[in-house]
Structure 1
């Protein structure tokens, strides 16, 4: 499943050797990305398969085929099983161990590069367990410096990664020189981080113990450097290509590599290739893009001829209708021309190639972004669905109203970007989330209650529609939450047992005349009515008018529930009557439930009959 939270780790194997362990893993193995293996002594469950012979032999046969292994087995036994199969942290799959009671999920092996740390946290959210992550970066609340760039589509370059990670673990000063790529990660570091950004006027005073370069430039790092250095390469380089028809892929690749080498650019920093639309079917270019997994952008001659270039050609103008292909295409794709056109020919290869390089201000991530629209209910972790918790933990970026983000603090990961904003900036949050998801990130937009009931889901989808969204990119998933009316109702009994409606008294987006019309309809129709946004500091008369409307249709002793901050530390619950409801504190964090003509107050519980007892009495 493409939209599964486990898709990015697939294929995944889960292994249990006894019945209770299989039961612990069953909720996970309902996901099609996870294959459960059991010994033939156990009965099959769901899509499980039996392995023959010893588990050690079976592991050896499937080890190279899978990216992650989840064991419900003693940690010591797992260590002995996998020890002969381990190579290095760049190649080893993620290994997770879950205890037999399903209370703890341990990231055992390949925590960073194999994503075991993240996978363990996602599994823990699914099972309601506690994730155990022992990596140094997590202990300090820091992003894993050897993997965090993957979020932004960066490629790892050369360097002493072990040495740099060791320096970070010791909290030594680490110099970060970032010349390209997103700086979002910098803005959300803990105050005590060890990073120093940029060049220091006095390197003696700085005395860094490690250095990180984030740049399209390929630097030579001496094997015996005075301190460890590493390189990340954001994909910001767009290669403009012009070529004769039938030019070989080998010559095109040679031209790209030689140009990058001459100008000290890392080929890992290449975002894609750009050319004129006449080359959309050029076999050599297509082969290069396929081999290197690069996107191929093409532009019309009309678009290309509008671009000012340093070396236009009258011959090219006569042949294809624009004075420039390579330079103009590079600029349209990447904005800032870095290398003007270079011409390559070969005595042994067909054709001729022209190469130019431009650098984009924003890197190319290279995968489809996702938007998670998440309802967190009242904010208490026990009231948030496992799926919603998982979505929040999995996301690259979490966006929401400051108060709601504070309520889910424990769900956040060190490498996540958290963007909080005031309550009145809903549209800005929606637009920001869409922009980041269109770029290629996974973004969780948090709403209290249910995101589809007076939450952010509708606004985000409206904004997507306005932007001409194709329904596929970015991908969108909606994670429901317990709505405010449900939370409030649960605190006072069962007031919503018959037909009910919800009405917001805020006239910020809906004219007050329309709201009054709905109030009259709800009151006259005998609907139990949940009132959202009943009163603010500036808007005080709407709740007074509402009460007057309902008094026209209901008895003054009709039960009314006033619930503020349900399931939060400052929760306040009051059961009163329609005539006395205005005597109690009501604000924007309050939900008011007005009963119908049959609702009653019994032993401080609010009950609305569904009609079962009346039917029984009639039958008697």
Structure 2
């Protein structure tokens, strides 16, 4: 997770930016006193507690005592707590408070180097030996962490250690090594039961290659992989990743195996796997004819292990899956090995105001490497867009925009397609699925690449213009309603006319999107005239413009007085039903509501049930 760099005042922002850049963090700030941050919050205590409970690393630019008091009620299990650090506002002191051996000490050193500050690390092992044995570097897993504390105590007291295996981070540390030392530090990818005064580390040197038929049950693939490791005496914790051919990037069984071992799933194209053909123990012409390489499981394992790697478990088969294991000479850097399945987040940012942007959308944008969208929408993200690759598009380039986002994700990136309002309401989510279904909205458009078709897609909702307008005006959507776009660019005008007539006859509250444009001035007038045939001229109409942004206006006019010239392209029009009403409050404001009949049912079974809900 990205560290949250938390500030309480604008004066801390310069140092916070340096810290965030050093640790790839995200700046969170008090809304009332720190403008322009990626994630604003109202209550520091509630926000910091939520970050802590979510396991998010926290770097607080505040007094260490204040941070301790805020988190004190939430401390319980030190083995599960995330890193928490306090940094002085002048950037001179960096203090790891919690999770020292879960990354806080390392973060402190990184931040101190970036700021030219002092890292106040107080854990004995770090100070004495320069390493923390209970927090090995990336690529290693300590298999018996419960033994780390007494072993560290013995070493601090003067005992020496015997190293079985090899690990540069131990050899280059200040730990006193002796072939006859009473403490044993073992580095192995084999299953091993720790002895007395022994710590066992599994290096991420095992590359698990997988292949399977389309639609293989995940349980079958997991069982095959687990049995292959078990029968070879290999430690599951030493698996660096699960590797396969890119044709399987969207195969649930492959990802299930990766999830089982808690490692990434990574993929190679057929050419890279075929380059390993000379090292395969079980090459297959049948496989070559099918996918373009002579072996998937063995080839993927060897490709991940590198030229110096060796096959330690040749291809094993179940009914519909295959697996193999190769051993690399050093822990595998999975970030530069193979390609991950790309991810496309399709998000709605509401009207654009950060106050109306959901926490989930904020999180997905923060997790993305690339942002794609209409330039205005990307600008509205403010500081949240900093440090990400932007791909700006003009209005009218919707298909190009979505296609570009999907192809970027097909390259293994994490891409966020940014929409205003809600991504699934007159926005880009539907076009993404149409491209998957048909290849292109335009029959002459080229189809998506195979890689783009295999991406992971997640859609996150936002506040639509319909919801925003209704909230500003009161409660016009209290009963049945519908939405109709008056744009005939994508929908034939006769179809729109039929829907307006049906909604009018059905007495729905109607929200009109795209009511006018520079060239379209007659559709809204037509809709008004049809509506007047079915509801009274004093029916309230809400005209909402620039919702949630500068220049916001909300007007309420009678249906009989609705003028097309009062509406522009940024206006949402909500027309009440025959039952919609207006009410004035003491401050002179007029509100619109559409009763559902609660008052008439007060005390009834239905009324009581819905009130409880």
TM-score (norm 2): 0.50
